[in-house]
Amino acid sequence: MSKGDLTYWRGSSFYVNPTSRCMNDCLFCVRHFGEGVFGFDLVLDEDPSPEDLVKAIDNTWDSKFDEVAIVGFGEPLLNLDAVLSATIRVKELANVPARMNTNGQALLLHPTREVARELAEAGLDRIQISLNAPDPDTYLQLCQPKLGRGAFESILEFTELCKPLMRVELSAVDIPGVDIDACRGIAERLGVNFRVRVFKGPEGALDGIFRTLTT
């Protein structure tokens, strides 16, 4: 069993943490500034199996929860089978909306699978895909994807695949040096919703990120 919390919650929102690994290293990532949120320890020493994640959900679920978010301390799609099992299980436990946050690089990670369709069939209602940049160069600088330059285009392609299957929202963190209006324009062109997210790190860190983006 993994060290660290596989589920966590605040108020009536229940969160699932399928992995703390990621193939990006975003300059603004909360993982640079702490080891968890809401008092939970979200750094896992290994990814849970689908069975372990379902067991953790069963052990911590409460009828007060009215929404589920698959939002861990890493990229959920790195542990896709556990995500699918977790989504199916929460939908069995209660008829509550389920969403997932992802960096959207599903097509690079799982080129032989139909990730959007599998997520929809498991019961996912909404997906928030982190765009974070209006072009591949800014994305490379800001998010440092290990999967390379093709990551940006693959996010757009995955967005289009999800669109007919569930509610889709592209998002960008409000960082000086990132053209939020241009990010919003991409969402509008793709016909999906757009959300601006607040930077959650220490105020001083923004200066360093801005310098990186503008040099």
Element (H, E) at 75: none
Q: How far apart are CA 167 and CA 43, in angstroms?
A: 29
What does the block give as tokens for 25? Answer: 């290293």
Binders of ligand SF4 in range 90-129 (CB under 6 A): 103
Q: Give the shortest CB-7-to-ligand SF4 separation in angstroms.
A: 17
Name the minimum Å distance from CB 67 to ligand SF4: 20
> What is the rounded distance in angstroms from the CA atom of residue 130 to the CA atom of residue 186?
12
Per CB under 6 A, which region of 22-30, 48-56, 108-116, 155-163 contacts ligand SF4?
Answer: 22-30
Among the listed ranges 24-32, 174-182, 188-196, 204-212, the one in contact with ligand SF4 (CB under 6 A) is 24-32
Nearer to ligand SF4, 50 or 145 (CB): 145
Sequence-distant (6+) residues with CB within 8 A of 47 are 2, 18, 19, 21, 78, 79, 82
69, 11 Cβ separation under 8 angstroms: no
Q: How far is the CB of 44 from ligand SF4 (least distance, A)?
A: 13
Residue 181 Cβ vs ligand SF4, minimum distance, rounded to whole Å: 21
The residue within the footprint of ligand SF4, chosen from 26, 44, 53, 133 (CB under 6 A), is 26
Interface residue with ligand SF4, options 5, 47, 75, 118 (CB under 6 A): 75
3-state secondary structure 26-68: CCCCHHHCCCCCCCCCCCCCCCCCHHHHHHHHHHHCCCCCCEE
Interacting residue with ligand SF4 among 2, 6, 17, 22 (CB under 6 A): 22
DSSP 3-31: SS-SEEEETTEEEE---S--S---TT-GG
Contact assessment for residue 100 and residue 47, using Cβ atoms and an 8 Å cutoff = no
Among 2, 7, 24, 171, binds ligand SF4 (CB under 6 A): 24
Which member of 1, 10, 12, 25 binds ligand SF4 (CB under 6 A)?
Answer: 25
Q: Which of residues 143-202 bind ligand SF4 (CB under 6 A)?
A: 143
Binding site for ligand SF4 (CB under 6 A): 22, 24-26, 29, 31, 74-75, 103, 130, 143
